[in-house]
Amino acid sequence: MVVRTLIGRKDMVPRFAIFAAAAPALFVLAACTTQPPEPPPPPADPTMDLFTAAAGGNIAELAANKHSGSDLDALSPDMQITPLTMAAVGGQAKATQWLLDNGADVNGKNGDGSTALKAAAFLGHAGVAKVLIDGGIDTSARDWEGNSAADIARIDWDATEYILTTLVQPAVANMLQLEVDRKTIESGRAKILAMMAETSEA
């Protein structure tokens, strides 16, 4: 009613006509003057090495290492394993996925010829194994001694415990946060073997 009254007034007609004519230009001007969002800042310089970041699942540090030019498929100088395997040993599924999303080779070989799936299978990290399998890892790959990930997942508990408590150096075990829990490891291994069986049947 108010609008009709205003339009009915002769002195308001020119004003409405001017606004109607100028409205499209005003909208275009507003669109042009809208500032685009600022790009996110680049990652800060890394404060830890690539392998420690992978083992601990530190995504920010992984990104910082990548930004600084680190090779995501490099072998660690001390253990000769890839960052992907380091993430698998640490049970870091999110870090594993990040590495794959950022170009790490899912079938990258460690110094013994194994892949990250062997580490996941040995320690029963089913979540990591799923990421690797979904990422297309070769589940039939064997290390230089002829062992597949399935072979490793079937190692008996006495041998497993001996490897984890005797052969692995305490400093390394502490850095990788290895946990020797039979129920957890064996349950995870069973899940991994089931996933691998489904993959071979597909």
**Per-residue pLDDT at 200:** 77
Residues in the chain: 202
Share of the chain above pLDDT 90, in %: 62
**Per-residue pLDDT at 116:** 98
Query: How does residue 176 score in pLDDT terms, banded at 50, 70 and 90?
Result: low
- The closest of 162, 160, 166, 159 to 184, measured between CA atoms, is 160
Q: Which of 2-11, 75-84, 136-145, 167-176 has the lowest mean pLDDT?
A: 2-11
**Per-residue pLDDT at 165:** 82
Please give the domain boundaries of the chain with CATH numbers for all domains: 2-33 (no CATH), 50-201 (1.25.40.20)
Backbone angles phi, psi at 148, to 5 degrees: -95, 170
CB atoms within 10 A of CB 80: 12
Count CA within 13 A, CB hemisphere, residue 132. 34
Q: Residue 110: is its pLDDT beyond 80?
A: yes
pTM for the structure as a whole: 0.75
Q: Residue 171: is its pLDDT beyond 90?
A: no
- The closest of 95, 139, 97, 100 to 118, measured between CA atoms, is 139
**Per-residue pLDDT at 36:** 60
**Per-residue pLDDT at 167:** 74
**Per-residue pLDDT at 55:** 92
- Residue with the bigger pLDDT between 51 and 45: it is 51
Q: Residue 54: is its pLDDT beyond 80?
A: yes
Tokens found for residue 35: 């500032």
